[in-house]
């Protein structure tokens, strides 16, 4: 097993004990990149190997020991472009780090590179990137999920030790499920959004994508906490989420919503759910059937709210600022031509939908009604958490689908997030962990916790992970790629 296949917490122990060196870790990572990256295409930009090694050595005395982390390309990073997978920001280089990045660097992390994504985080397959699609390491003809597809694919293929992604309606959890890794969406506000390029401001959250639950807890402990630069951030103290992971879940009441086992799940997927129930029961938890009755309205509610907020947030991309600028003699022409050339089809679709929902005469009928339904969805969870301590179910209704299979059918693509969107609308923490296979491909188990219930959530996920013992993510073979310090559009 290469050092690049080991989780962060194991590598920290090996480095502290002198059983491995940071040079060996980085060499193994770049060997994996050289072998696989031309097939998977998880990255938009990579650090120079020698520069990265020098930075890592300079951080050897800090908690993360200089270990490299991959970062989704909508999170601001000094020294790298932040393109959001869009032609509009193709040459944009931030002058500051996002708070989450600054906190990782303070703990001794280095940045391996920026990962591919659906443009402005709008997508569920990583096919909406303006540059190229990313492929799933379990089957190169299938998608890795989205919008954090590059981050999940890199971790699954051992091209990254761990990564950061962002989750608006499932963009960390769904690709983690499809790639067979761990993906955590924190409670809204627990991780600062400062430096995260906004898609839907009332939903966006940064979170970790990792090889195991302990790494997710480790990274969350480092990036969470109040930030004066984000007015929505929460002051939850400095919590070490790795503490108490092994305490077990004896006596936990766990709910399984009947709405999460509705039409659309195959017999094989339902069999996986039965396995999960048996394992949680063996661990001492009590399983209960519950109801989240407004689940059926989650997708239309989400796409109205998220698109409306995207319409407002993306208005700043007008051809005057940033890097895309059309040559037109009129101001109106400058705006329209720059946006036409800079935005892809899915971004345009959502901007138009959101602009319509916010238009005079339609605001209350569409956006206002969606916000009221959002409240009903949150109240469903509030009632459920009076009865149970955690909620479980599939992360996605299907395993990874084939490239091109849903790109022409937006509704089918949107339904990929049917189980992840409700927790996002309610602002709740949720995690996807490997839950076996369906059709020979990874199938994710999602656990949802109450507001600021990350400790309980991670404890249950860790207990299941240890009992279930899922196989480590497989990595593809494929042609060797030539060594290069930079990849790009």
Give, in degrees to the nearest 5, the angle at Cα 88 between 87 and 90. 55
Helix (H, G, I), strand (E, B) or coil at 139: strand
- Please give the backbone phi and psi of residue 182, each rounded to the nearest 5 degrees, phi first: -100, 135
Residue 472: its pLDDT value, please? 44
Task: Judge if the upstream peptide bond of residue 147 is cis by omega within 30 degrees of 0.
Answer: yes
Residue 21: its pLDDT value, please? 98
pLDDT digits (tens, 9 = 90+) for 215-254: 999 999 999 999 999 999 999 888 999 999 999 999 999 9
Instruction: Indicate the helix (H) or strand (E) that contains 279.
Output: helix 267-282
| CA 339 centroid distance within chain | 26
Residue 182: its pLDDT value, please? 98
Asked whether the beta carbons of 42 and 62 are under 8 A apart, the reply is no
Nearest to 146 by CA among 354, 400, 353: 400
Residues identified as active-site = 72, 147, 171
Q: Which residues of the chain have pLDDT under 50?
A: 471-487
Nearest to 372 by CA among 412, 335, 425, 325: 425
Residue 206: its pLDDT value, please? 98
CA distance linking residue 344 with residue 114, whole number of Å: 20
Nearby residues of 233 by Cβ (< 8 Å), 6 or more positions away: 189, 190, 191, 192, 193, 225, 226, 227
Q: Dump the DSSP string for 322-387.
A: SS-----SSHHHHHHHHHHHHS-HHHHHHHHHHHHHHSTTTHIIIIIHHHHHHHHHHHHHHHHHHH
CA distances (Å), origin 82, targets 56, 101, 216, 463: 22, 13, 24, 37
Residue 263: its pLDDT value, please? 73
CA distance linking residue 65 with residue 55, whole number of Å: 10
User: Could you tell me the domains of the chain?
Assistant: 3-245+430-443+462-468 (3.90.1300.10)
Nearby residues of 276 by Cβ (< 8 Å), 6 or more positions away: 392, 435, 445, 464
Indicate the pTM of the whole model: 0.94
Match 């799940």 to its residue by tokens: 265
Token pair recorded at residue 207: 């979170």
């Amino acid at each position: 097993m290469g050092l690049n296949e080991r989780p962060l917490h194991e590598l920290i122990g090996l480095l502290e004990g002198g059983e491995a060196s940071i040079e060996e870790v980085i060499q193994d990572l770049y060997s994996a990149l050289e072998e696989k990256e031309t097939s998977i295409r998880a990255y938009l930009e990579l650090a120079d190997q020698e520069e990265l090694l020098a930075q890592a050595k300079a951080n050897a005395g800090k908690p993360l020991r200089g270990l490299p982390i991959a970062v989704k390309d909508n999170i601001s990073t000094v020294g790298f472009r932040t393109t959001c997978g869009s032609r509009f920001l193709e040459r944009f280089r931030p002058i500051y780090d996002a708070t989450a990045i600054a906190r990782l660097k303070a703990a001794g992390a280095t940045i391996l590179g920026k990962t591919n994504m659906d443009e402005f985080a709008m997508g569920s397959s990583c096919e909406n990137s303006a540059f190229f699609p990313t492929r799933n390491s379990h089957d190169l003809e299938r998608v890795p999920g989205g919008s954090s597809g590059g981050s999940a694919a890199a971790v699954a293929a051992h091209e990254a030790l761990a990564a950061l992604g962002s989750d608006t309606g499932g963009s960390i959890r769904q690709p983690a499920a499809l790639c067979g890794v761990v993906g955590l969406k924190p409670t809204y506000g627990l991780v600062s959004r400062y430096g995260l390029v906004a898609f839907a401001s009332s939903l966006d959250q940064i979170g970790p994508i990792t090889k195991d639950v302990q790494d997710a807890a480790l990274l969350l402990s480092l990036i969470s906490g109040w930030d004066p630069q984000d007015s929505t951030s929460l002051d939850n103290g400095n919590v070490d989420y790795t503490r108490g992971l092994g305490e077990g879940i004896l006596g936990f009441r766990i709910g399984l919503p009947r709405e999460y086992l509705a039409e659309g799940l195959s017999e094989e997927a339902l069999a996986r759910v039965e396995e999960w129930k048996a394992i949680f029961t063996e661990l001492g938890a009590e399983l209960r059937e519950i109801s989240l009755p407004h689940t059926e309205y989650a997708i239309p509610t989400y796409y109205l709210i998220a698109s409306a907020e995207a319409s407002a947030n993306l208005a700043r991309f007008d051809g005057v600022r940033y890097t895309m600028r059309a040559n037109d003699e009129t101001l109106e022409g400058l705006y329209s031509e720059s946006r036409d050339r800079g935005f892809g089809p899915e971004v345009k679709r959502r901007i138009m939908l959101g602009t319509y929902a916010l238009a005079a005469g339609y605001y209350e009928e569409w956006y206002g009604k969606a916000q009221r339904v959002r409240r009903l969805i949150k109240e469903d969870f509030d009632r459920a958490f009076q009865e149970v301590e955690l909620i479980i179910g599939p992360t996605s209704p299907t395993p990874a689908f084939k490239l091109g299979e849903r790109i022409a059918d937006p509704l089918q693509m949107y339904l990929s997030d049917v189980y992840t969107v409700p927790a996002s609308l309610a602002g709740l923490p949720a995690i996807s962990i490997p839950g076996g296979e369906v059709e020979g491909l990874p199938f994710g188990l999602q656990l949802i916790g109450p507001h600021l219930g990350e400790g309980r959530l991670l404890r249950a996920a860790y207990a299941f992970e240890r009992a279930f013992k899922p196989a480590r993510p497989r990595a593809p073979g494929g042609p060797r790629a030539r060594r290069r310090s930079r990849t790009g559009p």
